[in-house]
Amino acid sequence: MILILVKGTILAFLTALGTVGNIIIFVSHTHMFWGTEKKSMHLILIHLAFTNIIMLLFKGIPRTIAAFGVRNFLDDIGCKVVCYLERVARALSVCTSSLLTVVQAVTMSPSHSRWRRLQPKSAWLIVTVFPFLWIFSFLTNINLLLYITSVNTSQVTTSEYYCYFQPENQKVRWSILSAMVFRDALSQGVMCGASGYMVFLLHQHHQRVLQLRSSKFFYKTPAEIQAAQSVLFLMLCFLLFYWADCVFSLLLNSFLQNNLILNAREFFTLGYAILSPFVLIHRDGHISECYSTHGKRTLRRYFFPVSFQ
Domain membership flag for residue 258: yes
Report which of 157, 152, 96, 159 is spatially closest to residue 129, judged by C-alpha positions: 96
pLDDT level of residue 50 (50, 70, 90 thresholds): very high
pLDDT level of residue 48 (50, 70, 90 thresholds): very high
**Does an H or E element contain 273, and which?**
helix 259-283
Domain membership flag for residue 298: no
Cβ pair 51, 92 in contact under 8 A: yes
Q: How far apart are CA 309 and CA 297, in angstroms?
A: 17
pLDDT computed for residue 234 by the predictor: 82
Cβ pair 208, 232 in contact under 8 A: no
Which tens digit of pLDDT belongs to each residue from 52-78? 999 999 988 888 888 887 777 788 888
Mean pLDDT of the chain: 76
Instruction: List the end-to-end C-alpha distance of the chain, in Å, as a whole number.
Output: 65
Q: Is the pLDDT of residue 49 over 90?
A: yes
Domain membership flag for residue 76: yes
Domain membership flag for residue 248: yes
pLDDT computed for residue 227 by the predictor: 72
DSSP string for 222-267:
-HHHHHHHHHHHHHHHHHHHHHHHHHHHHHHHHT---HHHHHHHHH
Domain membership flag for residue 271: yes
Q: How far apart are CA 281 and CA 260, in angstroms?
A: 31
Domain membership flag for residue 285: yes
Question: How many structural domains compose the chain?
Answer: 1
Mean pLDDT of 233-262: 73
The CATH number for 169's domain is: 1.20.1070.10
Domain membership flag for residue 7: yes
Range of the domain at 24: 2-291
Mean pLDDT of 114-127: 74
DSSP string for 163-177:
EEE----HHHHHHHH
Q: Is the pLDDT of residue 154 over 50?
A: no
pLDDT level of residue 4 (50, 70, 90 thresholds): confident
